[in-house]
Amino acid sequence: MQKTIKEKIRGIIPPILTPMNEDGAINESELRNQVERMIKAGVHGIFALGTNGEGYILSREEKERVLAAVIEETAGRVPVYAGTGCISTRETIELSQTAEKLGADVLSVITPWFAKLSQEEMIAHYTAVAEAVSLPVVLYNIPVRTGNALTPECVKKLSEVENISAVKDSSGNFDNILQYIEVSREKDFAVLSGNDSLILWNLMAGGTGGVAGCANVFPENMVGIYRNYVEGNQEAARKCQDNIREFRNCFRYGNPNTIVKKAAALLGYPVGDCRKPFDQVSEEGIKAIAGVLESYRKNGIC
């Protein structure tokens, strides 16, 4: 029996880090190592070129190289999500078609940024992308980064477009997630949380999982949120969800994806720093992150 979209686009999907050498060049061997690490932990997909993967600062050639490596290393064991959103509709279509040719399973398309978009322009943009490919398209709402928000009404209309199969919400507004679920409840349409703190609550409300940046630091714990929830062990799921609070408190020391990458490096993985200029974490911040990781090690979280 063919799986539904909600059965396909589900679980814990790490927006995998793009490891870099000291000169800022991509460290492909460590990228492949991180793919193996995530799959071994039981994740339900690998998301390449996301925010934590620094897709926003990679060249077109680098994006293709990263995506090809992730697809090859994953080898069909879990779905590969490709972040293909660009500012222009034409460039988004071109990168989406390239991702499809490379063998990606799902496309994640962030809203265009910098210039303000109307909801009508948003609908036209996503519809054009969806019509140009055959892969499922995940809408990606992160207005704090792009300045453009997908309203629930817009998501309702887009959910009726063939190939537009899901939405990822990183607004941090749980009511927005609830409204996405409400307007698409009667459809085979998945709602993912892009905020790690809301994954369990998203599942309880009818969502299907989360794109979890913290999985780059403690993947087993993040997988535990989903696994325990579907197995009916609410107490264990809540414990895994609560476990991430101490680490997320470290986000006050810098850009969240910079903090996540620094934490992975402090765990001993040669992922390097984020590409300049987004590479600074204060000594106070590094000390705080290290302290949290030590506490997590003692408690078997990472």
Count of all residues that appear for the chain in the document: 302
Give me 242's structure tokens: 């609560």
List the catalytic residue out of 8, 157, 168, 262: 168
For residues 262 and 170, give the distance between their C-alpha atoms in angstroms, rounded to a whole number: 21
Sign of CA dihedral 27, 22, 37, 86: negative
Please confirm, yes or no, whether 168 is among the known catalytic residues.
yes
Please confirm, yes or no, whether 116 is among the known catalytic residues.
no
List the catalytic residue out of 140, 180, 269, 296: 140
Cis preceding-peptide flag for 19 (omega within 30 of 0): no
Residue corresponding to tokens 């990458």: 261
Give me 118's structure tokens: 């109307």
Give me 289's structure tokens: 């992150």
Q: If 0-12 CB within 10 Å is exposed, 13-18 middle and 19+ buried, where does residue 198 land? A: buried
Question: For 103, left (φ over 0), alpha (ψ -120 to 50), or beta?
Answer: left
Active-site positions read 140, 168
